[in-house]
Every structure is written in C-alpha cells, then in structure tokens.
Amino acid sequence: AQSVTQLDSHVSVSEGTPVLLRCNYSSSYSPSLFWYVQHPNKGLQLLLKYTSAATLVKGINGFEAEFKKSETSFHLTKPSAHMSDAAEYFCVVRSNQAGTALIFGKGTTLSVSS
Amino acid sequence: SQTIHQWPATLVQPVGSPLSLECTVEGTSNPNLYWYRQAAGRGLQLLFYSVGIGQISSEVPQNLSASRPQDRQFILSSKKLLLSDSGFYLCAWSRTGPSYGYTFGSGTRLTVV
C-alpha cells in the first residue's frame, strides 16, 4: 500500500526567506516521488521527481527536494521565496509495482508576503 | 511535443442533469489516461484510469463513469448529477512506467446547483 502525508496544510513565508514544505511517504515497493504545483484554478505542473537516481533532485523555479529513505521523507525546499511561488503544492508517490497510479497528498498552501 | 486538452473550463449544471467532460491528448500514442477530482481541502482523488482503448479501471464507486472510445480520447460522464459531484476535475496522461509523472490538463470547474 502507498500513502503520502504532507505535514503542513499551510505554510507562510516572507519574500526572500527559505521555503520548506514537508512530506512523508509510505510505500511497500521502491517508490517514485514527485512534487507538483497548482496555481488557483489551474492544472498541475510537475516541479521535480525522484526515480531512484540521485537523492537530491533539482526542479524548476529553484526548487529542490531530497529523498531520505531512512526518514521516509521527501521535503521540498527553496532558498529564497518569490511572490510568484504562492500556490498549492502536492507531494505524490507512485510505487514501482506495475499498474499503480499516482497517489497525492492533501496539499500544502504556500503563502508569500512582501 | 505532447499536449493535453480538456474542456469545458467551467460548467454549471442542475442536479439530475447529465454530464460529459472530454479530454484529448496529442503528440503521443497509447498513453495512460486518468481522471482525478479535486475537492477543497481533500487533495486529488483518482476516479478512473485507462491503459488502452475500452479499458477502464474505476478507483471509487460513485455516480460517474468513464469511456475511452479512441486511443487519445477520455470521457467522463454521468447520467444524473448530484450536488456532491461538484469539484475540480482534472484529466492527465502519462507514459507507461513507474518513473513517469503525469501531465495534467487545465481542469474543469463543475458546479452542480
């Protein structure tokens, strides 16, 4: 069975400060992990993905995430927040077992103040 | 390059009316296709997925159905909408293989009144 838990439903930061969005996963098989971003009333855009290669994954718009198997975590970070980063972020897991679909976390809303 | 189209963008329908949402993919063949629903504060719920023409897997028993009449066309339907069907519906496609993420359409905001 797979599941993903986003530990914060809402994160608020000031522009120029670091961003940390936390995610823990559970998977019976070696997982692939993803972060997606969704701006209001828009579809979802892939930020980055981990697929058993390098544990530190760099994505678009300056975001990165580190896969830590011992902690079953895949936290998303960015050194300096920008106003345009305000959006909802989803952590997603997909088991490497054939035939499985993506399982989404409930999302974290990121607010960025000036 | 591959693109995914989903329409309409917004829809207001009365309770008991039928529904048809359409999704098409261009630039690839034999994609895996998905319908998700997003309700406020509840993340994305997988409704249906399809690995080929006429092959539909349902994840959640409910008032909705899906069909795949062509390789790159995926349709979400209902014979009679319920208030609880309101939400943001997203279509997505992916290549086969666990390392592939999904590419999402722009979504349909459905309000049942």
Residue A22, phi then psi, degrees to nearest 5: -100, 140
Is A101 in Cβ contact with B46 (below 8 Å)? Answer: yes
Task: Give the B-side interface with A, CB within 8 Å.
Answer: 6, 34, 36, 41-44, 46, 49, 51, 59, 88, 90, 92, 98-99, 101-107, 109
Q: Which of A26-30, A33-37, B90-94 has the lowest mean pLDDT?
A: A26-30
Whichever domain contains B102, its CATH number is 2.60.40.10
Query: Could you say which of B92, B98, B105 has the minimum Cβ distance to residue A94?
Result: B98
Overall fold of domain A2-48+61-89+106-113: Immunoglobulin-like (2.60.40)
Contact residues, chain B, for A95 at CB < 8 Å? 98
* pLDDT score recorded for residue A78: 98
Using CA atoms of B26, B27, B29, B30 in order, give the dihedral in degrees to the nearest 10. -50
Q: What is chain A's mean pLDDT, rounded? A: 90
Each residue of A73-106: pLDDT tens digit?
999 999 999 999 999 999 998 866 655 678 889 8
Is A44 in Cβ contact with B90 (below 8 Å)? Answer: yes
Domain boundaries, chain A: 2-48+61-89+106-113
Number of domain units in chain B = 1
Determine the Cα–Cα distance for residues A97 and A3; give it in Å rounded to an integer. Answer: 14
* pLDDT score recorded for residue A81: 97
Interface with chain B: mutation pick from A102, A103, A106, highest number of B CBs within 10 Å: A102
Interface with chain A: mutation pick from B102, B108, B111, highest number of A CBs within 10 Å: B102
* pLDDT score recorded for residue A98: 55
Q: pLDDT-derived band of residue A48, with 50, 70 and 90 as boundaries?
A: very high
| Cis amide linkage into residue B8, ω under 30° from 0 | yes
Domain that holds residue B47: 3-112
The residue in chain B having the minimum alpha-carbon distance to the alpha carbon of residue A35 is B101
- For residue B106, what are the contacts with CB-CB under 8 A and spacing of at least 6? A42, A43, B6, B9
How many angstroms separate the Cα of B75 from the Cα of each of A67, A69, B5, B18, B36?
Answer: 36, 38, 12, 13, 12
> Is there a contact between A58 and A65 (Cβ–Cβ < 8 Å)?
no
A67 to chain B, any CB pair closer than 8 A? The answer is no
